Amino acid sequence: MAQFQIPQFIDIESKIVGPLTLRQFLYLAGAGGISFILFFLIKTWLWFLITTFLGGIALALAFIKFNGQHLPKMVWLALFFLWKPRVYSWQTEPTEKTITLPDIKEQRKTLKEMLPEMPNVKKLWQDLLTSKSPILKREKPWSKISSAQFQVFRKLTGQKEVAKRVDYR
């Protein structure tokens, strides 16, 4: 079985020029090159002012990260966000739809009309109305349930509720 080495630290850029990555070096070298050219073209006090400003921008672009993203990428995304048109829609306009339903009042039957067709339901309905004891396998006999199994508690909203108490001992 062959073993393969898995690359690690793939999110870290390689240091090319001393402690600087290629990207950082190019930002600083570009600012230095522009400053060098401006030294021969403009007066010294203006050159010093522009070089200070240009050096600050180059240092920011080279070294500042925000949420793990480089500053040039964040500036690019901000410009793209400002340039791209945006459409915000909170709620769409409701469309009206008309649905016509057939008249079903003639098809409906009352419970009394349906009971003769279903003898088991009719017997169950009669047993529920007339019996004092619970129907086997359908109703729980409330006399056998002790009140100690249930407990009344109050929710955080102040509402009371009854719940079955279970002790896991």
- How do residues 23-74 score in pLDDT, each as one tens digit? 999 999 999 999 999 999 999 999 999 999 999 999 999 999 888 888 999 9
Model pTM greater than 0.75?
A: no
Range of the domain at 59: 15-83
**Domain assignment of residue 25, yes or no:** yes
- 140 in any annotated domain: no
Asked if residue 27 is part of any domain, the answer here is yes
In a domain, 141, yes or no: no
Q: What is the share, in percent, of the chain residues with pLDDT greater than 90?
A: 27
Residue 143 lies inside a defined structural domain of this protein: no
- Measured CA distances, 138 to 75, 112, 118, 132, 150 (Å): 71, 22, 18, 14, 21
Which pLDDT value is given to residue 95? 83
* Residue 78 is assigned to a structural domain of this protein: yes
Is residue 147 one of the residues assigned to a domain?
A: no
Would you say residue 138 has pLDDT above 80? no
> Would you say 135 and 128 are in contact if contact means Cβ atoms under 8 Å apart?
yes
φ and ψ of 50, to 5 deg = -65, -40
Number of domains the chain is built from? 1
Average pLDDT of every residue of the chain? 80
Is 52 part of a structural domain of the chain? yes
| The residue type at 105 | K
